[in-house]
């Protein structure tokens, strides 16, 4: 009897040790993936043959710079909101993307920029729309979230508040780029009012530029809090104060610690009609979809059949990174605290 009890004790002790080791391993794995960031620089007719080697390298380097800027904030223990803001700032300051410095022209020959940011812990959010003189629109969106009772401010009102809180304002000449002006002239020269079939030349090839360039970032910090942000210049030759999906919380931007954070890019009208970002979150929360399944459902079964095109990036509540797009390509990249990093531009690799 004593021998039997001894054997049982040994078996119980062995099993307990294995369980402890397993829990420790799980904990170590979770710790290794304790923070992450994913970014996009727009989606659309992005094909390798449309880009010179120099152009491809320029985009890759700028995406890496944006990733590193956001990752540095997280690595030092900073919050996800600051990481998202830092990554987007880099892309807003580059003429390569349709945001900030590289924002496209509207039909009047001016920029009208939109941006939004959201805190997945509190669901606090801030957005601006139709601004002309704010150097970094994402900073103004953050001010709206942190320093007002409102969610979305537009036009002159947004600029007044941004200036009040010390956000850098610039003359409209700051946003001038020859490439963007040439795009506008080509469109207006063809007397087109819709952009779905317009294009410009890169390396003597046609590419749908109006469908990419919007920038965005999603991050999870060491505390497990998620944030998402997006910034855009909208659509080339857009009319009458048009506002897209980016500053509309739940359409182009959304974050909720219970599910995920999302930033979208593409033909905004269709992301608005499907409330795309919130729809992805709801499918995960209420239908039990995986993030991959939810992205696929919204992009290919809801937005696609309506005629919409674009992509979305996502970080879920576990810190795992996902993306998907129904366009040819999407500028994208991620960096995780376990050392895993990736930057891609063209067709899907997995």
**Averaged over 82-101, what is the pLDDT?**
96
Q: Is residue 289's pLDDT more than 90? A: yes
Q: Is residue 220's pLDDT more than 90? A: yes
Strand, coil or helix: 214: coil
What's the pLDDT band for 269 if we cut at 50, 70, 90? very high
What is the sign, positive or negative, of the torsion defined by CA atoms of 264, 269, 271, 275? Answer: positive
Q: Is residue 202's pLDDT more than 60? A: no
Q: Is residue 80's pLDDT more than 70? A: yes
What's the pLDDT band for 184 if we cut at 50, 70, 90? low
CB-side neighbour CA atoms (13 Å) of 175: 30
DSSP states of 89-142 as a string?
A: HHHHTSTTSSSGGGPPP-TTS---EEEEEEETTT--EEEEEEESSBS-HHHHHH
Catalytic residue selected from 214, 232, 253, 274: 214
pTM: predicted TM-score of the whole model, two decimal places: 0.84
Contact assessment for residue 277 and residue 312, using Cβ atoms and an 8 Å cutoff: yes
pLDDT at position 36 is 98
Element (H, E) at 64: helix 53-75
What distances in angstroms separate CA 295 from CA 89, 128, 282, 289, one per listed residue? 26, 26, 11, 9
Q: If you average pLDDT over every residue of the chain, what do you get? A: 86
2-45 pLDDT, tens per residue? Answer: 555 545 444 454 444 444 444 444 434 445 448 999 999 999 88
150-178 pLDDT, tens per residue? Answer: 999 999 999 999 999 999 999 988 987 76
- Dist CA 242 CA 195 (whole Å): 13
Residue showing tokens 């979230």: 145
pLDDT at position 298 is 98
Q: Is residue 193's pLDDT more than 70? A: no
What's the pLDDT band for 107 if we cut at 50, 70, 90? low
What's the pLDDT band for 186 if we cut at 50, 70, 90? confident
228-252 pLDDT, tens per residue? Answer: 999 999 887 778 889 999 999 999 9
SS3 content of the chain, % helix, strand, coil (to 5): 40, 25, 35
pLDDT at position 104 is 84
Which tokens sit at 8?
A: 């049982």
What's the CA dihedral at 297, 298, 303, 308 to 10 degrees?
-110
> 95-109, 208-222, 289-303: which has the minimum mean pLDDT?
208-222
CATH of 39-344, one of 1.10.3720.10, 1.25.40.10, 3.90.25.10, 3.60.20.30: 3.60.20.30
**Averaged over 75-88, what is the pLDDT?**
98
**Averaged over 293-308, what is the pLDDT?**
98
- Dist CA 212 CA 189 (whole Å): 21
pLDDT at position 27 is 39
pLDDT at position 24 is 43
What's the pLDDT band for 52 if we cut at 50, 70, 90? very high
Q: Does 214 participate in catalysis according to the annotation?
A: yes
What's the pLDDT band for 326 if we cut at 50, 70, 90? very high
What's the pLDDT band for 196 if we cut at 50, 70, 90? very low
What residues does 261 pair with on adjacent strands? Answer: 255, 315
**Averaged over 251-264, what is the pLDDT?**
98
Residues with Cβ within 8 Å of 196's Cβ and at least 6 positions away in sequence, in order, are 267, 307
pLDDT at position 234 is 86
Which tokens sit at 194?
A: 């819709």
């Amino acid at each position: 009897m004593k021998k039997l009890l001894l054997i049982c004790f040994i078996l119980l002790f062995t099993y307990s040790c294995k369980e402890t080791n397993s829990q420790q391993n799980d904990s170590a794995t979770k710790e290794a993936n304790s923070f992450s960031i994913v970014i996009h620089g727009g989606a659309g007719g992005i094909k390798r043959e449309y880009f010179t080697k120099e152009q491809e390298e320029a985009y890759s380097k700028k995406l890496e710079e944006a990733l590193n800027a956001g990752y540095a904030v997280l690595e030092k223990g900073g919050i996800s909101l600051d990481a998202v803001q830092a990554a987007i700032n880099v892309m807003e300051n580059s003429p390569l993307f349709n945001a900030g410095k590289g924002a496209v022209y509207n039909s009047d020959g001016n920029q009208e920029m939109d941006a939004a940011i959201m805190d997945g812990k509190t669901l606090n959010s801030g957005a601006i729309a139709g601004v002309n003189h704010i150097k970094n629109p994402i900073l103004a969106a953050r001010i709206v979230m942190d320093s007002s009772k409102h969610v979305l401010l537009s036009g002159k009102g947004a600029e007044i508040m941004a200036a009040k809180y010390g956000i850098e304002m610039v003359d409209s000449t700051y946003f001038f780029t020859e490439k963007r002006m040439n795009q506008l002239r080509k469109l207006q020269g063809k007397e087109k009012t819709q952009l779905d079939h317009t294009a410009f030349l890169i390396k003597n090839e046609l590419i749908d530029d109006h469908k990419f360039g919007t920038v965005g970032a999603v991050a999870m910090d060491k505390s497990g809090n998620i944030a998402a942000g997006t910034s855009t210049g909208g659509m080339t030759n857009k009319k009458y104060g048009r506002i897209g999906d980016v500053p509309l919380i739940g359409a182009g931007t959304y974050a909720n610690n219970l599910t995920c954070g999302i930033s979208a890019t593409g033909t905004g009208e269709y992301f608005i009609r499907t409330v795309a970002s919130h729809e992805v979150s709801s499918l995960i929360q209420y239908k039990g979809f995986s993030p991959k399944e939810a992205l696929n459902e919204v992009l290919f079964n809801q937005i696609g059949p309506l005629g919409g095109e674009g992509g979305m990036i996502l970080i879920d509540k576990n810190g795992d990174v996902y993306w998907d797009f129904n366009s040819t390509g999407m500028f994208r990249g991620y960096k995780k605290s376990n050392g895993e990093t990736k930057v891609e531009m063209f067709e899907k690799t997995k």
